[in-house]
Structure 1
Amino acid sequence: MYLYPEFNIAFTVKKLVSPLILLLFLAGCQKDTPAPEFEALIIDEVSDRDCDPDEENCAYISLNIPWVAGTGARNKSINRNIEQHVINILDYQEENNFSSLESLSQTFIDNYETSAMEFPEYNIPWEASVEGRVLTNTPEIISLEFNLAIFTGGAHGFSSRSYINLNPQTGEILKNEDLFTADFKEYAEGVFRVKKEIPEGESINSTGYFFENDSFYLPQNIGFLKNKIILRYNAYEVASYSEGGIQIEIPREEATDFFKFL
């Protein structure tokens, strides 16, 4: 049975310095930068319209995501990137102009109630949830995972799993080109072909995948755990909806030589 808690946010003498000395000083400062301390940011909104919790038919949106405690430019950058990521994956109408997670959540409920009033004969409760967790929090990289489930009517809902990787010193997003050398793509394609049993010498799409231009590419979503790397293609990205998400796991020690952030 779904629980519908009340709206809640848990946030719970001048002299010249040689370039070499300056670089060593900066490197030491970065090395000593404490890791961010994550807590949970929880936002729950439930519609009052036609809501019967006992029947589990209430429209709701529920967010439970990592959030950094404390102030400072680095921490603010991390939280800003987390917030924007969640907005992007939840922006089901592609409006993408929300100023905060709170405004997005309230808009989701407002849109449901408007739809329920205009089309009462099709009144099916909407549901949306995002569950996030910290996979890695080290001086080299911060890796976060987000699981989305959303239903706003239609034949079926939509779910996805996404990742963001952050620079622990600045809080800024690390893109694939920041994470890996150019050779990693070829290595990952070899792993993909073996795990998905694509015959040697055949095109990447020969068994039913639909990589654009019949050419392998890394997914947008790559997560880092202590002992493995996750390459995640969500539904519709390289295969049909019926295939669901395509996930490849690579032992971390096998790919270390391709890392650029170490």
Structure 2
Amino acid sequence: MKNTIFILLLFLLTGCSQQLVFERKQYNSSYSPNYTTSYNSANIKMEVLEAKNDDNINKIIFENIKELSSFIDSQNLTINNYNQLTKGFVDTYKNAKNKTPGNNIKNWDFELESNIEYETEEFVNIGINYTSSYGDASGFGGKRSLVFNKQTGNQLKLEDIFINPKAVSKLVEAKFRDKYHVNNAVSLNQQGYCFETGSFYLTNNVFFNIEGVKFLYNINEISSYDKGSYEVFLTYQEIDKYLLIK
């Protein structure tokens, strides 16, 4: 009886201290019946992090990757997993190709990779890098940040990360204006930017590293495509007093 109780307690203690473990998985698909350098080919390659013991984290990562796969926006596709996503990419290309005179359509390419950007005992920061090209459309790419509480598996929002997001936004804006030589006396949108609210706002793309926190605005997010992406970096010395997570 005592041995049974001991084993049960050991099991419970082990379960409570179970570590969050990620593994890499590949999901690829391609179509190239008459391959040439620029035409008649579709290729999708994804290297995805999946938590071995947290379905909620996996679901959130998947939904974000699905959202980044813009080829499905106007398609009547059922996509509930990565295999369906890669198949949907190729099937959508085939449909577009069949509707094109001479079945001649430029290549489609989609590549994605997710990585652990930073990790502590309290949280893990996952970064998703992606590039895409759909025929005649200009190639596009970017990076998305997801921050998770390791104990609950919940995704953390800005208000879960910072004590005072408004104060952090002012701090980031000051750095932004200084770095990109923005006139303080004139609104950002009057200087070629396109903030939806008409004024500066804090991005959700928050990346941690050993030295501090990076705030990333992807291509087309706050300015025209040709201007590229924008980023502001704050050291822990500058931002530590605002952090709710360590």
TM-score range, shorter chain: 0.7 to 0.9
Pick from 184, 197, 206 the counterpart of residue 200 of structure 1.
Answer: 184
Q: Look up the match of 1:3.
A: none
Of 94, 106, 109, which aligns to 2:90? 109
Report the counterpart of residue 198 of structure 2 in structure 1: 214
Moved more, 60-69 or 112-121: 112-121
Identify unmatched segments of 5+ residues in structure 1: 1-28
Q: Distance in 2 between matches of 1:93 and 1:252?
A: 40
Number of aligned residue pairs: 226
Superposed CA offset, 1:76-110 (max 9, x none): 11111111111111133326852111111101001
Q: Give the match for residue 155 of structure 2.
A: 173
Residue of 225, 228, 249 corresponding to 2:233: 249
SS at 2:72 equivalent: coil
The one of 149, 153, 156 equivalent to 2:138 is 156
* Residue 61, structure 1, aligned to residue 40, structure 2: no
Contact 2:203 2:217 in 1 (8 A): yes
Kept in 1: contact 2:215–2:231 (CA 8 A): yes
Identity value in percent: 23
How has the CA–CA distance of structure 1 residues 237 and 127 changed in structure 2, closer, same or farther, with 3 Å as cutoff?
A: same
What CA distance in whole angstroms lies between the structure 1 residues aligned with 2:95 and 2:137?
20
User: Residues 183-207 of structure 1: CA distance to partner in whole angstroms, max 9, x if unpaired?
Assistant: 2111111111111112233323343
Q: Secondary structure at the match of 1:214?
A: coil
Does the aligned pair in 2 maintain the 1:35–1:139 contact within 8 Å? no
- Provide TM-score, normalisation by structure 2: 0.83
Instruction: Determine the C-alpha separation between the residues in 2 that align with 1:88 and 1:247.
Output: 22
2:210 aligned residue = 226
Q: Distance in 2 between matches of 1:125 and 1:80?
A: 30
Residues in 2 aligned to 1:213 and 1:151: alpha-carbon distance in whole angstroms: 29
Query: Hey, what's the Cα distance between the residues in 2 that align with 1:48 and 1:191?
Result: 47
1:80 pairs with 2:59: yes
CA displacement at 1:34 relative to structure 2? 4.6
Amino acid at match of 2:110: A
Contact 2:38 2:106 in 1 (8 A): no
Paired residues for 1:182-193 under 5 Å: 182=164, 183-193=167-177
TM-aligned CA distance change 1:161 to 1:68, over 3 Å:
same
Q: Counterpart of 2:127 in structure 1: which amino acid? A: E
| Closer, same or farther: CA 111–92 of 1 in aligned 2, 3 Å | closer
Q: Deviations over 1:138-161 (max 9, x none)?
A: 122210111111111124111111
2:70 counterpart residue number = 91
The match for 2:114 is 132
Pair 197,48 (structure 1): closer, same or farther in 2 beyond 3 Å: closer
CA distance 1:33–1:224, shift in 2 (3 Å):
farther
Contact 1:198 1:206 in 2 (8 A): no
Cα distance change of structure 1 residues 200 and 99 upon mapping to structure 2, 3 Å threshold: same
Q: 1:226 to 1:39 in 2, by over 3 A?
A: same
Which residue pairs with 1:45 in the alignment?
29
* Matched-pair contact (CA < 8 Å) for 1:35–1:137: no
Mark the runs of 5 or more structure 2 residues left unpaired by the alignment.
1-12
How far is the alpha carbon of 1:225 from its aligned partner?
1.4
